[in-house]
Amino acid sequence: MAVPAAFTLDALAAFFAAGGAPQDVAEAALARIAAWDDPALFIAQVPPEAVLARAAALAAEGPRGRPLFGVPFVVKDNIDAAGLPTTAACPEFAYTPMVDSPAVARLLAAGGLLLGKTNLDQFATGLNGTRSPHGTPRNALLADCIPGGSSSGSATAVGAGIAGFSLGTDTAGSGRVPAMANNIVGLKPSLGLVPTEGVVPACRSLDCVSVFALTVADAATVLEVIAGPTPTDRYARAAPAGWRAAPAPQPAWRLAVPLAEQLVFDTADDAALFDASLARAEALGGIVARVDISPFLAIAQRLYDGAWVAERTAALRGMLADRPEAIHPVTRSILEAGLPKLSIDAWDDFHAAAEARRLARVLFAGADVLVLPTAPGLPTLADLAAAPVAANSRLGTYTNFVNICDLAALAVPAGFRGDGRPAGITLVGPAFTEARLAGLGAALHAAAGVGLGALGGTPPSARAAPVADEVPLLAIGAHMAGLPLNPQMLRHGGRFVAAAETAPHYRLHDLGGRPGLVRVGAGGVAVAGEVWAFPAASIGAFLTEIPPPLGFGRVTLADGSAPLGFLCEAAGAEGMPDISATGGWRAYLTTKDHA
């Protein structure tokens, strides 16, 4: 039985279910490393015999429900993995941790198969991937293009098919730009969602552990594994109750897009690919509104010209003072720029950041997702060498403000220019909206027809069906997407699955601003609604918020299934207007609006 070409979670799960062994996958991964033959990819590898021994141990244990069972992965070399040196691409900085960082420990506990530590822009300072004494990892698609940074090796290992997923870090775009460069998915979580203990800091207050994967669903699964605070992480915070990262589709999307004059691209092809992505989003139910993002572009300028430069300097002041010659020249110049910064000026930056966060809340009060180019375009290695600082800064045009504004982001492939260079879009939302971003991102990735990294293949659509710990719930009123009580569903972790219609066994009544669905013995009609996937653990708490005469019961759908749904006691509907002829609550509201 052949090992899958793409190490996606679904493909490997099917391989194992059919009798394949983790040892087969481990051997394939090691063979791919050898065939790829890039000395700049890894800084430290797990010895092959140790990889095979781990695979054998996994095979002996069996899956045990572990979501990452037997999946090869790599880790950026600023994240601790016990027994492997952490260098942050600076050999003189190296130390060997005795324990795994929380993120790595959780991946291993979930059955992951660690291959090694990958190269990066030194001390995670840069977006291009060329600032390392170990060389520049080869772009998975085009050898003459930059791999993106700072998580260069983490992204190229996934794009080349060596790893099923990887960990990077993201402070200013390091988990998004390399995803675009290698035609893969980059998920930058909300601040504090994943512990940054055991991570060499860049800007500790803004740093995130990020995820690279071939598909949105895989990135979301990995994030759910590594998310959750630890008691000793000063910047960690717990996600709201019911939080999930799994793709949560919606029937409609309110999309914020920058004003035309705020969009900059390297070529007309880059612009056309962004426009094509917007067209796909509109075809998926997106309604585009142009918004002014100048406040966010302005705060982005402060990232490398203010308090956060000094924060980078503070993290490495010992190296800068005692061994400056050990630091990459470009990185050293950035760190030295933090030395003369004044604390009184830092307060200006902090107040500006607070204002930018306030403006982000205003923006997202009227939008579900902010849609941005991941970068204006992908430079070649020669382009970068000709203008190392300017080209790097341009890569961060649409990424630098996201962490400062406490936002989540998901980068997905958007297509290829005529010269073969990849382009990408980034979906941005408020903190802890990873599921929403994944819902739209998975659909856009599938619609783009771009393949998986350098491997070809077909990106899957969003997995909308309920999963093991979810139950289907039919909404027929104000809890439906976009209506006033829908935030209640979202707060409890509900996610839209599909529009639906009941079997013709029901009557619908207006109970005074909310609908009542009553099953009848005769004279029933089909009523329109929506099926949502709801965490089983949240159903009880949600039910307590539903006032009588409404409650939950089994509702028969037109396809014969019978999910839980909102039902009304017959006595509660007596004397209330029968609105069955409209076919559903949305149609009834439209009728009322035009009455």
CATH number for the domain including 396? Answer: 3.90.1300.10
Answer yes or no: are the C-beta atoms of 114 and 54 closer than 8 Å: yes
Are 269 and 364 found together in one domain?
yes
Mean local confidence (pLDDT), 565-575: 92
Facing residues of 182 across strands? none
Q: What's the mean pLDDT when you consider all of the chain?
A: 94
In 3-state terms, the chain is what percent helix, strand and coil (to 5)? Answer: 35, 20, 45
459 in any annotated domain: no
For position 481, what pLDDT does the model report? 87
For position 198, what pLDDT does the model report? 97
Which two structure tokens, joined as six digits, stand for 407? 């936002």
Facing residues of 498 across strands? 531
Are 278 and 179 found together in one domain?
yes
Tens digit of pLDDT for each residue in 491-501?
Answer: 888 888 888 99
Nearest to 463 by CA among 502, 411, 412, 498: 498
pLDDT over 90 at 64, yes or no: yes
pLDDT over 90 at 408, yes or no: yes
| Residue 506: φ, ψ to 5° | -135, 160
For position 322, what pLDDT does the model report? 87
Answer yes or no: are the C-beta atoms of 60 and 69 closer than 8 Å: no
Nearest to 117 by CA among 56, 40, 215: 40
For position 462, what pLDDT does the model report? 59
Nearest to 116 by CA among 88, 157, 150: 157
pLDDT over 90 at 256, yes or no: yes
DSSP state of 402: T
Are 281 and 179 found together in one domain?
yes
pLDDT over 80 at 463, yes or no: no
pLDDT over 60 at 594, yes or no: no
Residue 294 a catalytic site member: no
362 in any annotated domain: yes
Q: Which long-range contacts (CB under 8 A, 24 or more apart) does 14-23 make?
A: 16/63, 16/69, 16/70, 21/55, 21/59, 22/55, 22/56, 22/58, 22/59, 22/69, 22/70, 22/113, 23/52, 23/55, 23/56, 23/59
Answer yes or no: are the C-beta atoms of 227 and 192 closer than 8 Å: no
Nearest to 398 by CA among 441, 363, 427, 436: 427
pLDDT over 80 at 465, yes or no: no
* Parallel/antiparallel/unpaired status of strands 72-76 and 165-170: parallel
Tens digit of pLDDT for each residue in 348-404?
Answer: 999 999 999 999 999 999 999 999 999 999 999 999 999 999 999 999 999 999 999
Are 319 and 439 found together in one domain?
yes
Handedness of CA 583, 528, 571, 545 (dihedral sign): negative
Tens digit of pLDDT for each residue in 197-222?
Answer: 999 999 999 999 999 999 999 999 99
As for how many domains the chain has, the answer is 2
How far from 301 is each of 187, 261, 353, CA to CA, in Å? 23, 18, 11
Are 139 and 217 found together in one domain?
yes
pLDDT over 90 at 336, yes or no: no
Give the domain-ending residue among 415, 448, 481.
Answer: 448
401 in any annotated domain: yes
Answer yes or no: are the C-beta atoms of 137 and 117 closer than 8 Å: no
DSSP, residue by residue, 177-202: HHHHHTT-EEEEPPTTSS--TTB--S
462 in any annotated domain: no
CB atoms within 10 A of CB 482: 12
Mean local confidence (pLDDT), 230-255: 91
Mean local confidence (pLDDT), 481-491: 86
Mean local confidence (pLDDT), 270-282: 98
Domain span at residue 265 reads 9-448
For position 538, what pLDDT does the model report? 87
The pLDDT confidence band at residue 346, using thresholds 50, 70 and 90, is: confident
Among the listed residues 101, 117, 132, 150, the single catalytic one is 150
Nearest to 251 by CA among 502, 484, 499: 499
Answer yes or no: are the C-beta atoms of 308 and 206 closer than 8 Å: yes
CATH code, 542: 3.10.490.10
The share of the chain scoring above pLDDT 90, in percent, equals 80
Give the domain-ending residue among 416, 448, 480.
Answer: 448
147 in any annotated domain: yes
Are 267 and 352 found together in one domain?
yes
Among the listed residues 152, 174, 210, 277, the single catalytic one is 174
Residue 150 a catalytic site member: yes
Q: Which of 116-120, 249-253, 548-552, 585-589 has the highest mean pLDDT?
A: 116-120
Are 185 and 302 found together in one domain?
yes
For position 498, what pLDDT does the model report? 87
DSSP state of 568: E
Answer yes or no: are the C-beta atoms of 431 and 378 closer than 8 Å: no
Which two structure tokens, joined as six digits, stand for 40? 């700049």
pLDDT over 90 at 564, yes or no: yes
Give the domain-ending residue among 448, 483, 512.
Answer: 448
154 in any annotated domain: yes
Taking the C-alpha atoms of residue 80 and residue 142, their distance in angstroms, rounded to an integer, is: 30
Are 488 and 403 found together in one domain?
no
With both helix axes pointing from N to C terminus, report the angle between 307-315 and 329-336 in degrees, rounded to the nearest 10: 120
Which two structure tokens, joined as six digits, stand for 436? 């929403």
Nearest to 507 by CA among 530, 484, 480, 476: 476
Q: What is the pTM of this model?
A: 0.88
Are 441 and 495 found together in one domain?
no
Q: Of 3-17, 122-136, 140-154, 531-545, where does mean pLDDT reach its minimum?
A: 531-545
Mean local confidence (pLDDT), 278-291: 96
Facing residues of 566 across strands? 552
Over the range 555-591, which residues count as b (16 or more CB within 10 Å of their CB) and which as e?
bbbeeeeebbbbbbeeebbeebeebbebbbbbebbee
How far from 536 is each of 260, 291, 477, 508, CA to CA, in Å? 44, 38, 21, 27
59 in any annotated domain: yes
The pLDDT confidence band at residue 593, using thresholds 50, 70 and 90, is: low
Are 59 and 122 found together in one domain?
yes
Answer yes or no: are the C-beta atoms of 377 and 265 closer than 8 Å: yes
| Residue 332: φ, ψ to 5° | -60, -40
How far from 15 is each of 11, 74, 225, 454, CA to CA, in Å? 6, 21, 21, 21
For position 102, what pLDDT does the model report? 98
Which two structure tokens, joined as six digits, stand for 539? 């159903």
Residue 151 a catalytic site member: no
Taking the C-alpha atoms of residue 592 and residue 573, their distance in angstroms, rounded to an integer, is: 19
Which two structure tokens, joined as six digits, stand for 509? 């009544």
124 in any annotated domain: yes
Helix (H, G, I), strand (E, B) or coil at 317: helix
DSSP state of 537: G
- State the Rg of the chain over Cα: 25
Are 304 and 236 found together in one domain?
yes
Are 261 and 336 found together in one domain?
yes
Helix (H, G, I), strand (E, B) or coil at 170: strand
pLDDT over 70 at 464, yes or no: no
pLDDT over 70 at 595, yes or no: no
